[in-house]
Amino acid sequence: MNTLIDVKDLVLDYPKGPRFGPMSFSIAEKEAFGLVGESGAGKSTVALALMNVLKFKGGRKLKGKIERHCSAKEIAYVPQDPAAALDPLFTVGSQIRELGCSEVAILEALEKVKLPLTGMSLKSYPHELSGGMLQRLLIAMALVRRPKLLIADEPTSSLDVIHQAEIMKLFHAVRAEGISVLFITHHLPLAMDLCSRMAVLYEGKIVETGIPREIYEAPRHEFTRRLLEAVPVLEVA
């Protein structure tokens, strides 16, 4: 299988603060890769760096290599907070059309995410749609260009449990279509459910990599163990 992205010794240097990395991992075609870690561990920053939209403000520096074996347009991004992700002053429809794909492709993508948006509702504004709908819309916007890699940055963090499940079903479907997924989350079970390979991030360093089963049965790092223990198990009295 071809490698889509190869990250080698990626280091994020903040002049006043912590260092993230060095991190190394690779994502292959048609695979779902999970990046698990606490909020603030630098996961989003890594994602942005992969997309090459990281701004080097405040002396922030990037070292190491990111090798991309696909074009920039073949990487899609699903942001974390759907409400803040869209321009509030333009209709949803106009924003999805800005991506430059045909109407057919747009409708296809919308169908895939099971968004009941007809021509009329594409005229609504972001603040008129619910969080769940927005999240699905964002995924549709990511899919509409037929990407090879989909980077999902905490896609379920702002949703309630039921919506979470629905979104996860979507990601499974995406993966089934052969699109690679980089699944970033702080919720270990979700990643384990979806991904074929995972990396655990703790204090900016990768402390664990491997397939979910291995990690589950034999966690190497204290942090991983704690994450596993923190998963609530349903007990009926």
Partner 1 sequence: MSPRHSFFNRCLMAIPLLLLLPLLTFWLMHLMPGNYFDQLRLNPQISRATVEQYEKLYHLNEPVLIQYVYWLKQLARLDFGYSFAYKQPVLDILVSRLGNTVLLTGFSFAWAWILAVFLGLLAARYPRSIFNRLLDGIAYAALSMPNFFLCLILLHLAAAWGGLPLGGMRSVDYEALSASGKVLDILSHLAIPSFVLGIGIFSFLFRLMRAQAQEVYERDFVLYLRAWRIPGYKILFKHVARNAINPLITLLGMQLPALVSGAALVEIFTGWPGLGQVMLQAVRAQDLFLVMGNMVMVSALLVLGNFLSDILLVIVDPRIRSGKGGAS
Of residues 138 and 191, the one with the C-beta less far from partner 1: 138
- CB-count burial class (<10 Å; 0-12, 13-18, 19+) for 53: exposed
Which is nearest to 137 in space by CA: 111, 161, 156, 159?
111
3-class SS of residue 106: helix
CB of 125 to partner 1, least distance (A): 5
Of residues 53 and 165, the one with the C-beta less far from partner 1: 53
3-class SS of residue 222: helix
CB of 223 to partner 1, least distance (A): 28
Of residues 14 and 125, the one with the C-beta less far from partner 1: 125
Q: How far apart are CA 180 and CA 6, in angstroms?
A: 13
CB of 209 to partner 1, least distance (A): 26
CB of 85 to partner 1, least distance (A): 5
Of residues 92 and 227, the one with the C-beta less far from partner 1: 92
Instruction: Output helix, strand, coil percentages for the chain, rounded to the nearest 5.
Output: 40, 25, 35
Residues in contact with partner 1 by the rule CB under 8 A: 48, 51, 53, 72-73, 76-77, 79, 81, 84-90, 98-99, 125, 127-128, 141
